Amino acid sequence: MTRFAVLLSLLVLQNGTLSAQDTPKRPPIIDVHVHAMKLNPNFTGDLCPWFLKDMPGADPNEPAPPFANANCVDPLKAATSDEEMQRILLEKAEALNVIMVASGDAEILHNWYNAAPDRIIPSLAISNAEEMTIAAFEDSLSNGFYKVMGEVAPQYQGMSPSDLSLDAYFGVAEKLGIPVGIHMGTGGNGMININNPKYRASLGRPFLLEDMLARHPKLKIWVMHAGYPMIDEMIALMGANAYVYVDLAGFIWSYPLEEIHAYLKRLVQAGFSKRILYGTDLMIWPKLLETSIGVIESANYLSEDQKRDIFFNNAVRFFNLDASRFE
Ligand SMILES: [Zn+2]
């Protein structure tokens, strides 16, 4: 290495150090709803946020409506490989200071966790008793890797969350003090027609949680997708059950913005700003992190304190996290 090269590398190093110090770290954000998925050729394609502003009539004799669409100026790119997904996602998470509660494919989840243990809180998904025995489930939750149970999505199986076949699993989570995320509400447009014939809109009713909650008084749950669009039942359920939280995942980047804000505003107006968790339902579009954060940042009916509660403080309280770990 020439002297000039040494000098140059020292300068670069110095500048690198300086600029790192100059850029203040963004306040931390906890995304409670992320899916670690293996790339699937049947589930890919770019995405226009808020694409459900137009749900045109379809015909049962024609192909089912697409899950998403890419007919906009600047659609979010789907990752083209598992490696690319991990690299961009973790870069974005670092830049935006996001910590993610993630569930899904065990291998992908372990890869993410090994690459960024401070950014990933592993969650164990189970939606029916055939996926795992109760003993294996308890073992997985006791060995230290998994800290959360979710996404539990009995609705896609045509089942109520109070179905007794899931009861022992909730009992394990209750006994171990593991928080549980349960899918309730929307699955997108035409979910039944696309690939989930057992899905039932009516099985997303928040009131269906009540029997299960009554059987497990110490269980801590959050209702994923905030039971969208069943706001009245959601508010009534939260009023009656003081430990129930909600997340905003999925609907904050798919339905029309006005509709999203009306729903979120209603939850806040009803007094629940301390029980709303930020979440994306991130799947294969890493830039969705920014899109979804923007929705909360631009909500002019929320105070700065309420935004920080939704982004961070509520999740710290709900998951019993040590906030100083993230500062
Ligand atoms: Zn869901």
Task: Specify the DSSP element, H or E, that contains 93.
Answer: helix 82-96
> What separation in Å is there between the alpha carbon of 194 and the centre of ligand 1?
16
Containing domain of residue 119, as a range? Answer: 25-326
d(CA 45, CA 38): 14
Query: What is the CATH number for 212?
Result: 3.20.20.140
Instruction: Please state the φ and ψ torsions of residue 73, each to the nearest 5 degrees.
Output: -65, -45
User: Cα 72 from chain centroid?
Assistant: 24
Q: Is residue 1 part of a domain?
A: no
> What separation in Å is there between the alpha carbon of 265 and the centre of ligand 1?
21
Q: Average pLDDT, whole number, for the chain?
A: 91
> What separation in Å is there between the alpha carbon of 115 and the centre of ligand 1?
25
> What separation in Å is there between the alpha carbon of 222 and the centre of ligand 1?
12
pLDDT in tens, 118-131: 999 999 999 899 99
> What separation in Å is there between the alpha carbon of 183 and the centre of ligand 1?
5
Q: Is the dihedral of CA 57, 65, 256, 261 positive or negative?
A: positive
Q: Is residue 140 part of a domain?
A: yes
Q: Is residue 229 part of a domain?
A: yes
Q: Is residue 20 part of a domain?
A: no
Contact of 211 with 241, CB cutoff 8 Å? no
> What separation in Å is there between the alpha carbon of 323 and the centre of ligand 1?
26
> What separation in Å is there between the alpha carbon of 190 and the centre of ligand 1?
15
> What separation in Å is there between the alpha carbon of 103 and the centre of ligand 1?
11
Q: Is residue 7 part of a domain?
A: no
Q: Is residue 10 part of a domain?
A: no
pLDDT in tens, 221-269: 999 999 999 999 999 999 999 999 999 999 999 999 999 999 999 999 9
> What separation in Å is there between the alpha carbon of 281 and the centre of ligand 1?
7
pLDDT in tens, 266-315: 999 999 999 999 999 999 999 899 999 999 999 999 999 999 999 999 99
d(CA 234, CA 217): 18
> What separation in Å is there between the alpha carbon of 160 and the centre of ligand 1?
14
Q: Is residue 84 part of a domain?
A: yes
- Count how many domains the chain has: 1
Q: How confident is the model at residue 7 (pLDDT cuts 50, 70, 90)?
A: very low
In this prediction, residue 138 carries a pLDDT of 98
pLDDT in tens, 88-97: 999 999 999 9
pLDDT surpasses 60 at 21? no
> What separation in Å is there between the alpha carbon of 283 and the centre of ligand 1?
11
Q: Is residue 247 part of a domain?
A: yes
pLDDT surpasses 90 at 23? no
> What separation in Å is there between the alpha carbon of 224 and the centre of ligand 1?
6
> What separation in Å is there between the alpha carbon of 39 and the centre of ligand 1?
18
d(CA 41, CA 36): 15
> What separation in Å is there between the alpha carbon of 49 and the centre of ligand 1?
17
pLDDT surpasses 60 at 12? no
